[in-house]
Structure 1
Amino acid sequence: MNLDHLTEEELNMYLLLKREKIIEDAQNDFYEFCKVLYPSFYKPNRTFLKTICNTLQDFIEDKLINPTTNEPYQNLTLNVPPRHGKSFTIKNLEMWLLGKNNKRQIITVSYSRDLADLFAQQVRDGIDVEASDDLNITYADIFPDTKLKYGDSSKRKWSLEGSERPNYYATSIGSAITGMGATVGVIDDPTKDDSEAFNEDALEKILNWYDNTFASRIEKGGKTILIMTRWSTNDLTGRLLERESSDWYELKLAACLNEQTGEMLCDEIFDIKMYQKRKRTMSPEIFMSNYQQEPIKLTGRLYTHFKTYKKIPVNEHDRPVFTKVIGFVDYADKGKDWTCCVISGVFNNELYILDVLYSQESSDKTEYKLAEIIHKNEVNEVTFEGNAAGSVIARNVEKILRSQFNNHLTTIKTFHQSKNKESRILSMSSTVERLVYFPSNWNDRWNKFYLALISFQRIFKNNKHDDAPDALTGLVELIESGGKPIRAVKSLYSYLKG
């Protein structure tokens, strides 16, 4: 807008009206409030922050409706990657809520007393500012009637003018909460670190404290907000979602939106290079939970340990010493199943996994990719589980191998699996852990396959898919059943690469 034609008086009036409009918007819109006070963080291109702010405001204003009860949600869990402003935004929310209603009572909990005190102090100091007489806008300009009560503003517990009861109380997990209820209860990162996150006793204590202390302080109609870095399905968020999933609104944002394209939630905060570095250096289980909001159920897992190798077995001439290369294919016979092909070199009756195809793509794409991976790895013998569509797929893959790859050496076999799948996978689990070796970087190479195996539960009904362990079990059964060795072994120089 061109303001050059305005007189000084008209310009001042315009700026005054504009300032009043900005203040009015900040009073009524939480995202605008954050933008006004902290414009360097709440930038227009950081759209995920607007999503968080709008979701929090809708939650507080009873606009998030639970489809199960047709009533507003009273509980919200916010799961966002580290350093993406979740705690900062919650502190701003508390300031905004107290500005709109100085009768509100807020209890904030963190994993340590020092962190809780810092949280409370930052909220208090954010409110205790002077109004501005220029173009800058402060909290006091937006909410001029919200002031700390003189003589009642300690670091941990304080009140506002006009309130008969304390408005804010901060404490730590495990501490007593007495003499105060809450219209809004906030738990910010209840778990300190990975050592606590995977300690069952510590996790049980956190849940017991939540049930017996924290929840009892939330007043009727009050709101609970749980924000945390995810660790596993056994953390506080995981347990509450499992126990009472229909009572919680869950907002979760992954750091990486698309690994292939490098699209991130926010490149300015955490770009694809940082993501890839953390993925290489962190424990895969922790990384997927922390940054991708894909927590893994670590207790009750069927497989507890997988062997790895950095280099395949070779002889004194640095040539592979596999007696044969075999593959096993479990083809997806249902829409949501996964086609799983596992290829392995056999040495001393042990299996060194060389390649994996784990896909939910349609059959026309999968058939070609199966032929391609079999040919590329110079497989001697591939066994297809012949149930349902498996036999048809095996014939189609064989045709592609012969006609498009000119491969007449790989033997394609099918068989009908008559044994119970659950009993096979369970009974062979220890054998799988004993005989199978994966490349040391298998998490990066076949991430979804990796996650499917390390999170697979011993109680079968707790699993959505069993394709990965089924194929791996089938591969192990090929060498455990005493199959005849293949004498003609082709050149395996390609496995020396990488």
Structure 2
Amino acid sequence: MLDNNYNIINAELIKRELAKKNLVDFMRYKFEKYYNATFNDNWHYDYIAEHLESCLKGDITRLIINEPPSYGKTEQIVKCFMPYAWINHPHLKFIYTTYGGDLTKENAQTTRDFIKSKAYINLGINFKLINDEIYNFSNDKGGRVFSTTVGSAVTGIHCNGLIIDDPLKAIESFSKAAKDKVEDYYKGSLLSRLLDSKSFVIIIMQRLATDDLVGRLEDTGFTKICLKAINEKKEYYYFNNELYYEREANEPLFATKHDLATLERIKTEMGELEFSTQMLQEPYVSEVGFFEKEKLSFINDYEIPSQNDYIIIDSAESTSKTADDRAIVASGISINEDNQTLLIVKDILHGKWELEDFCENAITMMLRYPNAPVFIELAGGGITFHRELLKYINKKNTEFRRDGKAILTNIVQGFKPIIKESKNHQIQALAPLYNTGFLKFKHTCLNKEQAIKELLAFDPAKKNNTDNVIDCIAKMLILDGVYPLDNNNSKNTLSNISFRFKKGGWRI
């Protein structure tokens, strides 16, 4: 019995000693003794902990951690890291800030309450709290935790460690004013609160936009940790120039929380745009504001009027990993009873295909839209693709005839690049339709997310946008041979339409 009690006591003392020396052991201890729960461990906690320890040593003074929501970042870096730091460095002063008052209060209060708990005191701390306010508690060794919301005053408060936790609400990711406020607060107020050159800044957040705070701090000397919920290719994580973890392709970041099947379901529920931004840390929606998310318009299949359908193909320059995607876009165009032009994007295929796959995908789209003329831009590999596609159609029709199937009868023609107007200007011509709801996406449109992604990220001031899909859509307004079907029971006159006809094409 005595030996058994001795072993239990000894095991407890070992846990306490480990908790004082290692942040992840501290987390295990907290979950067992304070939460009365099992800590769901994972390698990424150790990887982050190594960087946080380096902040305490003064080796890292600027650290960004991008991590999916609900993966434990606030628990580790706020609720555990600050109490852990006080065990061996009780003099440290922290400023903690996040986007909302309720969230700030909750995190500050739970951090303070743990520091006051028996589980924490049992670690043998050598300080006492002398100020017990939720938003501003301190100890008798000079340490303090001051918690506030983004934008609030920090006058007279200084710190050794500044922790910025999700400074922007997800709902504000499209607001330039909100993002400007966060940047101004960081640069204009928070940075001046650091006590000395060893003081550190830790920014922890899920990505929300290309120009969120992390995006605006590119190339400013931050050490960066970027953790994706799932990775397409093999990735290597380094610490102090040494390999720390080797992650296989398609390996979930936190498999016991979200396995592959769960991540796929989350992707379906969130949509590709939000999943890429928040779960993969790959935002592509910048607050350019030319095409606003709020003005996106969709239409059900049964609501689509009679239209003239067309297939526009952009062959791209090459199939290298850095080249633009090749794009095949089927759209319909018509005029309604109010003489308004209606452009509906019906299906999209895109990718870095080899020639045979490119031809096969074009055939797939032609089979879906057998009456749609096909237009191929004769730029880059377009001339070769045009020639090869005609051969491929002939080959397929031979097979179709032999099998007693209907043959492909789509008209296929090439067109020269329109050099009188830049690609950006052509895409800008979509704005009148987009802003008034007359550019719509069919709800069942294949790969509509790619077009939405390109629209929302489109910047007319940039020379190189990712825009092959929306460029195909824009060609519907300017190509010779593209005509809207008039559904207003009058003659196909063009005088009352918001676009004027010029040399066989549509122009603003």
TM-score, normalised by the number of residues in structure 2: 0.75
**Residue 375 of structure 2 corresponds to which residue in structure 1?**
383
2:216 and 2:343 map into 1 onto residues whose CA distance is 37
Following TM superposition, by how much is the alpha carbon of 1:222 offset from its aligned partner in structure 2, in angstroms?
0.9
1:43 partnered with 2:36: no
> Which blocks of at least 5 consecutive residues in structure 1 are unaligned?
1-7, 63-71, 131-137, 315-319, 487-498
**Residue 322 of structure 1 corresponds to which residue in structure 2?**
307
Following TM superposition, by how much is the alpha carbon of 1:223 offset from its aligned partner in structure 2, in angstroms?
0.8
1:344 partnered with 2:328: no
**Residue 120 of structure 2 corresponds to which residue in structure 1?**
139
Match of 1:78 among 54, 65, 82: 65
1:409 partnered with 2:383: no
1:303 partnered with 2:291: yes
Following TM superposition, by how much is the alpha carbon of 1:88 offset from its aligned partner in structure 2, in angstroms?
1.2
Contact residue 334 and residue 484 of structure 2 kept, 8 A: no
Match of 2:455 among 453, 469, 475: 453
Paired letter, 1:465: T
Following TM superposition, by how much is the alpha carbon of 1:10 offset from its aligned partner in structure 2, in angstroms?
5.6
Paired letter, 2:412: I
Match of 2:116 among 119, 123, 128: 128
Paired letter, 1:415: F
1:400 partnered with 2:388: no
1:263-302 residue pairs with structure 2 within 5 A? Answer: 264-266=252-254, 269=257, 288-302=276-290
**Residue 317 of structure 1 corresponds to which residue in structure 2?**
none
**Residue 137 of structure 2 corresponds to which residue in structure 1?**
158
**Residue 53 of structure 2 corresponds to which residue in structure 1?**
57
1:188 partnered with 2:165: yes
Paired letter, 2:307: F
* Inter-CA distance 363–107: structure 2 relative to 1 (3 Å threshold): same
**Residue 171 of structure 1 corresponds to which residue in structure 2?**
148
Contact residue 73 and residue 247 of structure 1 kept, 8 A: no
* Inter-CA distance 366–284: structure 2 relative to 1 (3 Å threshold): closer
Contact residue 307 and residue 437 of structure 1 kept, 8 A: yes
Paired letter, 1:454: L
Following TM superposition, by how much is the alpha carbon of 1:338 offset from its aligned partner in structure 2, in angstroms?
0.8
Paired letter, 1:172: T
1:208 partnered with 2:189: no
Contact residue 312 and residue 472 of structure 2 kept, 8 A: yes
Following TM superposition, by how much is the alpha carbon of 1:94 offset from its aligned partner in structure 2, in angstroms?
0.9
**Residue 217 of structure 1 corresponds to which residue in structure 2?**
193
Question: In structure 1, the residue corresponding to 2:471 is in which secondary structure?
Answer: helix
Paired letter, 1:139: Y
**Residue 29 of structure 1 corresponds to which residue in structure 2?**
22
Question: In structure 1, the residue corresponding to 2:153 is in which secondary structure?
Answer: coil
Following TM superposition, by how much is the alpha carbon of 1:464 offset from its aligned partner in structure 2, in angstroms?
4.7
Aligned Cα root-mean-square deviation (Å): 3.5
**Residue 213 of structure 2 corresponds to which residue in structure 1?**
236
**Residue 425 of structure 1 corresponds to which residue in structure 2?**
426
Percent of aligned pairs with the same residue?
20
Following TM superposition, by how much is the alpha carbon of 1:184 offset from its aligned partner in structure 2, in angstroms?
0.7
* Inter-CA distance 121–168: structure 2 relative to 1 (3 Å threshold): same
* Inter-CA distance 41–293: structure 2 relative to 1 (3 Å threshold): farther
* Inter-CA distance 79–99: structure 2 relative to 1 (3 Å threshold): same
Following TM superposition, by how much is the alpha carbon of 1:139 offset from its aligned partner in structure 2, in angstroms?
3.0
1:300 and 1:175 map into 2 onto residues whose CA distance is 27
1:339-378 residue pairs with structure 2 within 5 A? Answer: 339-348=326-335, 350-378=342-370
* Inter-CA distance 222–338: structure 2 relative to 1 (3 Å threshold): same
* Inter-CA distance 358–127: structure 2 relative to 1 (3 Å threshold): same
1:483 and 1:193 map into 2 onto residues whose CA distance is 40
Following TM superposition, by how much is the alpha carbon of 1:283 offset from its aligned partner in structure 2, in angstroms?
8.1
TM-superposition CA deviations, 1:454-487 (whole Å, max 9, x none): 22112124x5523223222223323xx355799x
* Inter-CA distance 427–169: structure 2 relative to 1 (3 Å threshold): closer
**Residue 95 of structure 2 corresponds to which residue in structure 1?**
107
TM-superposition CA deviations, 1:135-189 (whole Å, max 9, x none): xxx43344x134323x43332323334x1x3422222223322443211111223
Contact residue 79 and residue 227 of structure 1 kept, 8 A: yes
Contact residue 109 and residue 173 of structure 1 kept, 8 A: yes
TM-score, normalised by the number of residues in structure 1: 0.76
1:173 and 1:111 map into 2 onto residues whose CA distance is 5
2:302 and 2:345 map into 1 onto residues whose CA distance is 9
1:113 and 1:299 map into 2 onto residues whose CA distance is 25
Following TM superposition, by how much is the alpha carbon of 1:116 offset from its aligned partner in structure 2, in angstroms?
2.9
Moved more, 355-364 or 208-217: 355-364
**Residue 66 of structure 1 corresponds to which residue in structure 2?**
none
1:410 and 1:204 map into 2 onto residues whose CA distance is 51
Question: In structure 1, the residue corresponding to 2:301 is in which secondary structure?
Answer: coil
TM-superposition CA deviations, 1:215-271 (whole Å, max 9, x none): 111122211112234433343333333xxx33223333344557xx99754465456
TM-superposition CA deviations, 1:347-385 (whole Å, max 9, x none): 336433222111123334333223233234325321111
Contact residue 303 and residue 429 of structure 1 kept, 8 A: no
**Residue 247 of structure 1 corresponds to which residue in structure 2?**
221
Question: In structure 2, the residue corresponding to 1:221 is in which secondary structure?
Answer: coil
* Inter-CA distance 477–24: structure 2 relative to 1 (3 Å threshold): same
